[in-house]
Amino acid sequence: MSAYAAKGKAFERDMRYVPDRITREDGRSQDPHVGTLDVPTWPVEPGRYRLVAARACPWANRAIIVRTLLGLENVVSLGLAGPTHDQRSWRFDLDPGGVDPVLRYERLEQAYLARDPSYDRGVTVPAMVDVPTRSLVTNDFPAITHDLFFEWRDHHRPDAPDLWPDECREEMDEVMEKVFTEVNNGVYRCGFARTQEAYGAAYDRLWSAMDWLEERLTDRRYLMGDRITEADVRLFTTLARFDAVYHGHFKCNRNKLSEMPVLWAYARDLFQTPGFGETIDFDQIKQHYYVVHEDINPTGIVPKGPDESGWHAPHGRERLGSPQARRSA
> Which residues are tagged catalytic?
57, 188
Q: Quick one: which of 145, 188, 182, 142 has its CA closest to 292?
A: 188
What's the CA gap between 264 and 235, in Å, rounded? Answer: 12
Annotated binding residue 207:
no
Q: What phi and psi, each to the nearest 5 degrees, are found at residue 142?
A: -65, -35
For 32-74, give the DSSP string: TTT-B-SS-EEE--TTSEEEEE-TT-HHHHHHHHHHHHTT-TT
Q: What is the DSSP string of 76-130?
A: SEEEE--S-B-SS-BB-TTSGGG--TTT--SBTHHHHHHH-TT--S---SSEEEE
Task: Give yes or no for a contact between 77 and 155, defined as CB atoms under 8 angstroms apart.
Answer: no
- Strand bridging mode 49-53 / 77-80: parallel
- Asked if omega into 83 is within 30° of 0 (cis), the reply is no
Strand partners, 50: 77, 129
CA 94 distance to own-chain centroid: 20
Report the b/e string of 27-50 with b at 16+ CB within 10 A: eebbbeeeeebeeebbebeeebbb
- Residues tagged in the binding site annotation: 90
- Residues tagged in the binding site annotation for glutathione: 90
